[in-house]
Structure 1
Amino acid sequence: MAPVSSEVTSLGRFLRGERAFVVPRFQRHYSWDEDHVEIFWRDIFNIFAEDDGDYFLGAIVVRHCDPEGPIVIDGQQRLITVSILLAALRSILAEGDQSEGVEKLVRAFLLADDAAADAVAPRIMLNRADRSFYDRYIVGESRVDELMRMRRDDSLPLSNRLLADCFCFMHRQLQSFTARDWTPQDLARAVLKAIDEKIYIIRLDVRSDYDAFVLFETLNDRGLSLSESDLLKNHLLAAAGPHLKDTQADWETIEGNLGGERLLKFVRHHWLSSRGMTSRAGLYPDIKRAVSTPQTVAAYTEELCSASEYYDSLRDPNSRIWAAYGPERQPWLRERIDCLRLLRSDQIFVVLLAALETDREGFPDLLDMLISFTFRYTTICNLSPSALLPVLIAAAQHIRESGRVDAEEIFRQFLSPLYPDDSQFHSAFSRRAIRYNGLARYVLNKLNDQISGVDGAAQGHPITDLEHILPKRFQRNWTVERKDFPGGPEKYVHRLGNMTLLTTNLNRELGNQPYEVKRDAFAQEALEITRMIADEPRWTADAIGRRQNWMAGLAIKIWRCP
């Protein structure tokens, strides 16, 4: 058998293999958030909805010679997402009482024969962190309302919540077809036809990890796009010499902590934090030059292995790292770690990683300061990330050299020249539109905390839905006059002043009702930020502007440094 064999095949044919595909237990957790899933959905939507052309899903690399089954070396995020789409389709068929269609779909794509156990098993066997959740709640036909609850359950690992979130997204998208005169059978036929006839992959079969590494480097040498993390792993293992076993174990731990999607970002942030500036394109050459002997490889991978758990904790509010701060600080820390994900400004991880590795006592104050700075600089004022990065690198090096963390000193010495003052921040906030629901909900919760005097981070925010007062989709019962919304209502829908928070049940009842109906309901709401809307007799662009200008005044007090 040659070290590598390849085949262009349909996704359906690939999934209908005779054995289950296995995600290595130390490989990445499921990491696709709503942005990844939505991009994937948009890519495949026209393929089955409009029967429009073909779609190439990319290469899937599979390693054989394992007793458990074929090992998925590369492509597991895509495969898992496809399987969740099919599980959501199974749920739609079940809701339509199509038991025969459910059975065919499950047998073809979701379950495979397990000869060793004389039984069936999920066709994709996930890693140790996600397997039981996936098997029970995705393949195991859990109720949609239960998964909707789980996607917001902070006691679950983030990867489990992302699996639930992906299922809910796919179910919602598929259900929209059945609301538009598609029968469940028509929908299933269209999706399965696309998977069998329209969506293609390149299947690459290798005999060992080493063969996969050689394949990756060969593809890169020939100018084909390939993940730099695969090349880095290849280089380190090739240069490890007598330290090969320890290096491979370190790398498996790093992958287990971070997964492939975040691994390369971590390696770059760690390099920036500990060694200084490098570009994205220059990271691999820089590492290859500096880490090239067995001794330097062993030291570097051990260093990365230790830092990877700290880096992972910056995305995981339930990480064991935070247990060291004591139960009284847990809610506060969890709220701020979750906030890092919402702000989507990973540059500050360069400084936070240095702080966690150097002085964990000073870390919380630094975290609090950097969240306020980032919210002003990046989230609201949208200022240059390229101007900020050298400053963050200098701050990280200062922390490592001094061996201590002083948040006020870091702000004063490094960040204060870039800090948007109150006037600049107020002006930007009063015009800001936000399309990311999680971020909008975070902002509104913080504003409500400010006006009610409640510490939501300590007491826990109530479960709410985001309400667009002027709805995203207009119906006849919502009267929109052009003089009320100059330039068209679409300009105002995603303005912060047009949003509020509602209890889930009330949000469903109101839907796209006219403002007069909503106003009466707002007056009865528990949240002050929502009750205050009822003071507006009509909902217009001027009302949105007044409300957002008032919000900006509150925001100045909430997000400020030091």
Structure 2
Amino acid sequence: MIHSLLDTRTTNFGDLISNGKIYRVPPFQRDYSWNEENWEDLWQDIESLLTEQTPIHYMGAIVLQSSLESDKYFTIIDGQQRLATLSILTTVVIDRLETLIANNIDPEPNRERQEILRRTYLGDKDPRSLRYSSKLILNNNNNDFYKSNLINLREPRNIRKLTKSNQLLWKAFEYFRDRLNSLTDIIQFGDRLAEFLADTIARKLLFIQITVEDEFNAYTVFETLNARGIELTSTDLLKNYLFSLFQGPDDLESAQSQWNRIINTVRMEKFPEFLRYYLSLKYRRVRRERLFKRIKESVNNAEDAFNLLDSLESYSDLFLALGDPNDDFWSDRHETRIYILELNLFRVKQAYPALFAAYFCFSKENFVKMLKLTTTIAFRYTVVGHLNPNELERIYNQVAIDIASEQIDRPREVFERLRSVYVSDEKFERDFSVLKIETKGQKKKLVRYILAKLENHVSGKPINEETPSIEHILPESPDRQWEQEFTNEQMADMRYRLGNLTFLEPSFNREIGQKKYNIKRQKYQESSYILTQQITNDDWTPDSIARRQQELAKQAVRVWRSDFV
């Protein structure tokens, strides 16, 4: 099966770059981005080859797309950082030969070596301009500097005015020049410099060369790779495909601007996640590794590409805002903020496609109801029930499709579709009555949220959940006095049970510290929190915690309940 997708073989840098082959980085692929850490890793590998600690070194996989017009032309799908860096290292060797020639050290032999190495590893001289062309063509932002300055060994006039990526290209040249100069037994002799490049660099640095015939196969291969360094991402590959559909410069410029706005909003690393949610408005069970295939099936020309970019841009702000209750996006929908906060606190994103659809298809009022329903289901199903998130994703995917296709247009109809994942009152009460959550890290916010909602329910007053302390009635680190009521196993099990937790004023919390329960109980009666005042047990035992939590569970059934039951 794999051979029908690609041609693969082991090759070295010399074989790759020789024999008149031309390699082109897609015009809009990511800029050069290797830095000193990457260069240092490469140089250490080269030093191991020089000292014969290792006979060869694998540089990882490189993915090339062949050209229909000629077997000499290839597009670099994955590997531009490594090829560009090795080409820079080649220019460093040639520059060192230039120094030997200038110092009248074997000038004629070294000039001949220089020309041979140039033609073999960099490119030929153009007979019209008498300037050297390149076997490697970088992207739009890097190629002019690479060709004009590096290939032709011209130091830039003002490095600070260069773009960041072009500065990195020049810094790479300076880095390897310094490292080469440290090889004192090589740099004084032209034949040894030539051997260093032609033998060590060109022959002993090996690649797994993977050649594909089209973008889809390139994407399929790319998804399985973990190549060295900062390489192409699936987002870059998708961008390259979309941009290849635009013909005129005006369309291309407009598409670039729109793409940049989208990426600046959703961020590069989250784009695949965003795209998967977007595609889930139309397709069932969209898997991350199938994103490119879905786009390729539906986007075939410039008009399709523009339509896709328009749609993605319209959803990008919503995607960002669903992750932040304080986003200005909600400035005219203040009532949504509490539900957005809950959505993020519960870390439930399966509902995103359905929320995408509801935002654009429902009224403002119904979108709020949809949000509330979503968070209620999430709390019952995920936070308390710990049920299978895959089922939640499957059903929300279908709801998203039904809303987007206008098969349902009201939150009540959404609830009917979601009824199978709405945990029953009986099960929810049972699950809640044994729930325990550690009061550390992110989970501490969840405990504060739960206690605040329960306190609000019994007191009818809004609670600022950041104000009170979380009191552990059985302390987190109990001393020996608690051994009369609890075994060690019970202490470990009960300290983070919700029945053992309550709100308390910070000053009270500091005052009672690790004191005995009968002293704590007296302070609880002075608290302004109703749930804390209700702790009146004569003693505090495992049964006390269980009974209190069962009472809290009964209230939780009423607090986290759908409006449509």
TM-score (norm 2): 0.56
Does structure 2 conserve the Cα–Cα contact (< 8 Å) formed by 1:373 and 1:419?
A: yes
Change (3 A) 1:423 1:217: closer
Query: In the TM superposition, what is the alpha-carbon distance from 1:453 to its structure 2 partner?
Result: 2.0
Q: Which residue of 2 aligns with 1:287?
A: 295
In structure 2, distance between residues paired with 1:529 and 1:322:
33
Q: Any residues of structure 2 matched to 1:72-83 within 5 Å, and which? A: none
Q: Which residue of 2 aligns with 1:491?
A: 493
Change (3 A) 1:509 1:294: farther
Amino acid at match of 1:394: Q
Query: In the TM superposition, what is the alpha-carbon distance from 1:356 to its structure 2 partner?
Result: 0.6
Q: Any residues of structure 2 matched to 1:55-70 within 5 Å, and which? A: 67=161, 70=164
Query: In the TM superposition, what is the alpha-carbon distance from 1:404 to its structure 2 partner?
Result: 6.5
Query: In the TM superposition, what is the alpha-carbon distance from 1:513 to its structure 2 partner?
Result: 4.3
Q: Which residue of 2 aligns with 1:500?
A: 502
Amino acid at match of 1:554: Q
**1:499-524 Cα deviation digits (max 9, x unpaired):** 22233444455554443443333222
Q: Equivalent residue of 1:273, what SS?
A: coil
Q: Which residue of 1 aligns with 2:554?
A: 553
In structure 2, distance between residues paired with 1:261 and 1:500:
40
Q: Equivalent residue of 2:437, what SS?
A: coil
Change (3 A) 1:238 1:345: same
Does structure 1 conserve the Cα–Cα contact (< 8 Å) formed by 2:223 and 2:234?
A: no
Query: In the TM superposition, what is the alpha-carbon distance from 1:560 to its structure 2 partner?
Result: 1.5
Q: Which residue of 2 aligns with 1:9?
A: 37
Q: Which residue of 1 aligns with 2:331?
A: 323
Change (3 A) 1:483 1:268: same
Q: Equivalent residue of 1:252, what SS?
A: helix
- Aligned match for 1:469, one of 454, 470, 473: 473
- Aligned match for 2:368, one of 355, 361, 364: 364
Q: Which residue of 2 aligns with 1:220?
A: 222
Amino acid at match of 2:472: H
In structure 1, distance between residues paired with 2:164 and 2:512:
50
In structure 1, distance between residues paired with 2:247 and 2:225:
28
Does structure 2 conserve the Cα–Cα contact (< 8 Å) formed by 1:484 and 1:541?
A: yes
In the alignment, does 2:403 pair up with 1:399? yes
- Aligned match for 1:232, one of 232, 238, 245: 238
Change (3 A) 1:465 1:245: farther
**1:84-129 Cα deviation digits (max 9, x unpaired):** xxxxxxxxxxxxxxxxxxxxxxxxxxxxxxxxxxxxxxxxxxxxxx
- Aligned match for 2:306, one of 266, 274, 298: 298
Amino acid at match of 1:334: R
In structure 1, distance between residues paired with 2:165 and 2:297:
32
Change (3 A) 1:266 1:236: same
Q: Which residue of 2 aligns with 1:266?
A: 274
Query: In the TM superposition, what is the alpha-carbon distance from 1:338 to its structure 2 partner?
Result: 0.8
In the alignment, does 2:346 pair up with 1:339? no
Change (3 A) 1:288 1:510: farther
Query: In the TM superposition, what is the alpha-carbon distance from 1:217 to its structure 2 partner?
Result: 7.7
**1:254-274 Cα deviation digits (max 9, x unpaired):** 233233453332221111124
In structure 1, distance between residues paired with 2:512 and 2:324:
34
Q: Equivalent residue of 1:467, what SS?
A: strand
Amino acid at match of 1:346: K
Change (3 A) 1:484 1:69: farther
Does structure 2 conserve the Cα–Cα contact (< 8 Å) formed by 1:270 and 1:350?
A: yes
Does structure 1 conserve the Cα–Cα contact (< 8 Å) formed by 2:219 and 2:292?
A: no
Amino acid at match of 2:374: L
In structure 1, distance between residues paired with 2:412 and 2:454:
24
CA RMSD of aligned residues (A): 3.6
Change (3 A) 1:6 1:265: closer
Change (3 A) 1:4 1:394: closer
Does structure 2 conserve the Cα–Cα contact (< 8 Å) formed by 1:485 and 1:541?
A: no
- Aligned match for 1:375, one of 350, 375, 379: 379
TM-score (norm 1): 0.57
- Number of aligned residues: 359
Query: In the TM superposition, what is the alpha-carbon distance from 1:465 to its structure 2 partner?
Result: 3.2
**1:235-264 Cα deviation digits (max 9, x unpaired):** 434444443323332232223323345333
Q: Which residue of 2 aligns with 1:190?
A: none
Q: Equivalent residue of 1:324, what SS?
A: coil
Amino acid at match of 1:448: E
Does structure 1 conserve the Cα–Cα contact (< 8 Å) formed by 2:353 and 2:396?
A: yes
Does structure 1 conserve the Cα–Cα contact (< 8 Å) formed by 2:222 and 2:234?
A: no
Q: Equivalent residue of 2:376, what SS?
A: helix
In structure 2, distance between residues paired with 1:388 and 1:360:
24
Q: Which residue of 2 aligns with 1:408?
A: 412
Change (3 A) 1:400 1:219: closer
Amino acid at match of 2:468: T
Q: Any residues of structure 2 matched to 1:41-440 within 5 Å, and which? A: 67=161, 70=164, 220=222, 223-224=225-226, 227-242=233-248, 243-325=251-333, 330=334, 332-361=335-364, 362-402=366-406, 405-412=409-416, 414-435=417-438, 436-440=443-447
In structure 2, distance between residues paired with 1:324 and 1:399:
23
Does structure 2 conserve the Cα–Cα contact (< 8 Å) formed by 1:447 and 1:551?
A: yes
Q: Equivalent residue of 2:502, what SS?
A: strand
Amino acid at match of 2:496: H
Does structure 2 conserve the Cα–Cα contact (< 8 Å) formed by 1:229 and 1:260?
A: yes
In structure 1, distance between residues paired with 2:226 and 2:529:
54
Q: Equivalent residue of 2:373, what SS?
A: helix
Does structure 1 conserve the Cα–Cα contact (< 8 Å) formed by 2:32 and 2:165?
A: no
Q: Identity over the aligned pairs, expressed in percent?
A: 27
Does structure 1 conserve the Cα–Cα contact (< 8 Å) formed by 2:468 and 2:503?
A: yes
Q: Equivalent residue of 1:471, what SS?
A: coil
In structure 1, distance between residues paired with 2:160 and 2:236:
21
* Structure whose alpha-carbon radius of gyration is higher: 2
In structure 2, distance between residues paired with 1:336 and 1:520:
37
In structure 2, distance between residues paired with 1:518 and 1:557:
29
Does structure 1 conserve the Cα–Cα contact (< 8 Å) formed by 2:33 and 2:165?
A: no
Q: Equivalent residue of 2:280, what SS?
A: helix
Q: Equivalent residue of 1:265, what SS?
A: helix
**1:452-475 Cα deviation digits (max 9, x unpaired):** 12355xxx556233333333334x
- Aligned match for 1:449, one of 435, 456, 461: 456
Does structure 2 conserve the Cα–Cα contact (< 8 Å) formed by 1:240 and 1:298?
A: no
Change (3 A) 1:250 1:554: same
